[in-house]
Structure 1
Amino acid sequence: MLAVVVGAGGGIGGACARTLAQQYDAVLCVDRDLAAARRTAAEIDRAVALAADAGEVGFGRLVGDAAAAIGPVGCAVYAVAYEEHAPAVDLSRESLLRSLLIGPVGAFEFFRGLTPAPGASYIAIGSLHETQPFANCLGYNAAHGALGQVVRTLAHEWADRGIRVNAVVPGWIATPGEEDLYGAEQLAAAGRLLPLGRHGRPEEVAAAVGFLASEAAGYISGSFLTVDGALSSSLAQLRGV
C-alpha cells in the first residue's frame, strides 16, 4: 500500500514521509522542488520523487495518476501552504488568492484525485491560524480557515466510502524554513519563551500523522489533533499580568 506526501521536501513533510515509510510499502514524495523531493526519497527505501506544484492547473490529476501507477493509496498527507506577512491593508489580491489556491484548493484537488485503498487516511497539516486571527497574516489565516472546512466536509461526505479525513495542527515547529526566516539565534531565543521552553520538532508532528494513519485511529475522522506544546492554551493572557 502507498503513502503520498505533498510537501515532502520540507521539514514537516519530509518527517511525515520518513515516518509513513515505516507503515507503508512505498512512499510517493511530492514537492514543487524536485531536488528536495529526491533528497527525502533518498532517505527512504521504496520511495519515488515527483515534481508537482499545488498552484498549477491539473495538480490533483498529476499526483493522482502518478500514485495510481504505483498502487492504491492508504495514506495521503498535504503539507504545503503559502504565507505572506503583511498588514491586511497592504495585502494584494494575488497574494490572498495564492494562499487559498495553495492551501484549501490544492488540498481538495489532491485528495479528490487519489484512488484510495479501503480504510484510507487523508491528513492535512493545518495551523493554529485556523482559529487565531494573527495580525499581518490575513491570507494565511483565511486559507487555513477554509482548509479546516475542507477537512470537515470531506470527513462527512466520504465517510460512507471508508475514507477518514483529519488534520494535524502544529504549533511553532523548528524547521529549516523557520530558521531561514528568523535566523537561528532569534529562533532559539523565541523557543525559550514557549510554554514547554522549546519549539516543536518535525518528527513530533509526523508522529501524530503516523497515529492518524494507523489502525489505532480507525474510528477517528473529522478531527484536529493539535501538536503545539500548549501554545494555543497560553495565547489568552491578561495584559500586565
Structure 2
Amino acid sequence: MPDRVAVVVGAGGDIGGACARRLARTHGAVLCVDRDPARVAPAGWARTLTADAADPAFADTVVAAAAGIGPVGAVVHAVAFEEHAPAVTVTRASVERSLAVGPLAALSLFRGLVAAEALAAGASLVAIGSLHATVPFPDCVGYNAAHGALAQIVRTLAHEWAPRRIRVNAVVPGWIRTAGEAGLYGDGHLDRVAALLPLGRFGTAEDVAAAVGYVCSDEAGYVSGSFLTVDGGLGASLARLPGGAA
C-alpha cells in the first residue's frame, strides 16, 4: 500500500494532468479522476477512476476508491464549467452545472474524505480557483458565482479544520494557455494576445502545478486558508481607468 495517495479531480485536463504529474513525485500513487478517463495520460503511478463531478454520488465514489488505495495526503479539485453567455439569456441549468461541478463537488469530496477518516496526518486540500472569484468578467455569471462560492468554501474549511491539522488552500491561475482556451478563442488570437500580458506570455499548466506542488509539500506546512495567485501579474494590471495611462 502506498505511503500517501494524491487525488486529482479533473486529471484529464491540462491543469489537472500537470498537477497529477507533479504530485507523482512526492506520493506513492495518484488517483486520477475524470469523467473521461481516456483523457488521462497512462503512467505507472496513475490509478484512473471514471466519475462526473456533477453526479450526486461523485464524492462517495471517489472517497471509496481513494480509501481503498491508501491514506490520502493531497487532494486537488481542478474542475469547472464555464459558459460564455449574457446573464439575461444564460440558462438556469448552465449556472447550476457551474455550481455543481465546482464548489458543491469540492465541498462534498473534501468533507467525505474527512468523514471517512481517509486523510493522512497533515493532509493538504487544494481547490483550483480563478480570478473570476473577485473580478466578475461579463457573460460568465455562472462561472463567476461558482468561483466566488468556492473561495468561501476554502476559507471556511481552513478555519473549521485547522484543529484537525488539515490544510485547505486555493491556487488561483490567471490566463493559462490550455486546449480549452484554444477552443474558445483560437490559437491565432492567443498568439496575438500573449505579448500584451504583463510578463509577455501566457501561463502554463506546469506553472499552476508547481504552485500546487508547493502547497501540498511539507515546506507549506503552516500555509492554510491562502490563495496562491499564479497569474503573471494579470490581476494587478486589471485596475485601470478608462483612457488612463497603462
TM-score scaled by length of structure 2: 0.95
Residue 13 (structure 2) aligned to one of 10, 25, 28? 10
Which range is displaced more, 152-161 or 9-18?
Answer: 152-161
Q: For residue 199 of structure 2, what is the aligned residue in structure 1? A: 196
Q: Does 1:174 align with 2:177?
A: yes
Q: CA deviation at 1:34?
A: 1.6
Distance in 2, matches of 1:19 and 1:45, equals 14
Give the fraction of aligned pairs with identical amino acids, expressed as a percent.
Answer: 63
Amino acid at match of 1:151: V
Does structure 2 conserve the Cα–Cα contact (< 8 Å) formed by 1:21 and 1:45?
Answer: no
Distance in 2, matches of 1:124 and 1:95, equals 21
Q: For residue 99 of structure 1, what is the aligned residue in structure 2? A: 98
Distance in 1, matches of 2:20 and 2:13, equals 10
Per-residue Cα deviation, 1:118-139 (whole angstroms, up to 9, x for no partner)? 0000000000000001100000
Q: For residue 130 of structure 1, what is the aligned residue in structure 2? A: 133
What SS does the aligned partner of 1:89 have? Answer: coil
Q: CA deviation at 1:189?
A: 1.0
Does structure 2 conserve the Cα–Cα contact (< 8 Å) formed by 1:81 and 1:99?
Answer: yes
Distance in 1, matches of 2:45 and 2:131, equals 33
Q: For residue 48 of structure 1, what is the aligned residue in structure 2? A: 47
Q: Write out the 4+ residue segments of structure 1 that deviate beyond 3 Å after TM superposition.
A: none
Distance in 2, matches of 1:191 and 1:13, equals 22
Does structure 2 conserve the Cα–Cα contact (< 8 Å) formed by 1:2 and 1:28?
Answer: yes
Q: For residue 70 of structure 1, what is the aligned residue in structure 2? A: 69
What SS does the aligned partner of 1:210 have? Answer: helix
Q: CA deviation at 1:179?
A: 1.1
Q: How does 1:1-241 map to 2 (within 5 A)?
A: 1-37=4-40, 39=41, 42=42, 44-114=43-113, 115-241=118-244
Give the number of equivalent residue pairs. Answer: 237
Distance in 2, matches of 1:83 and 1:180, equals 13
What SS does the aligned partner of 1:141 have? Answer: helix
Amino acid at match of 1:30: V
Does structure 2 conserve the Cα–Cα contact (< 8 Å) formed by 1:4 and 1:76?
Answer: yes
Q: CA deviation at 1:15?
A: 0.2
Amino acid at match of 1:106: A
Amino acid at match of 2:81: Y
Q: CA deviation at 1:12?
A: 0.3
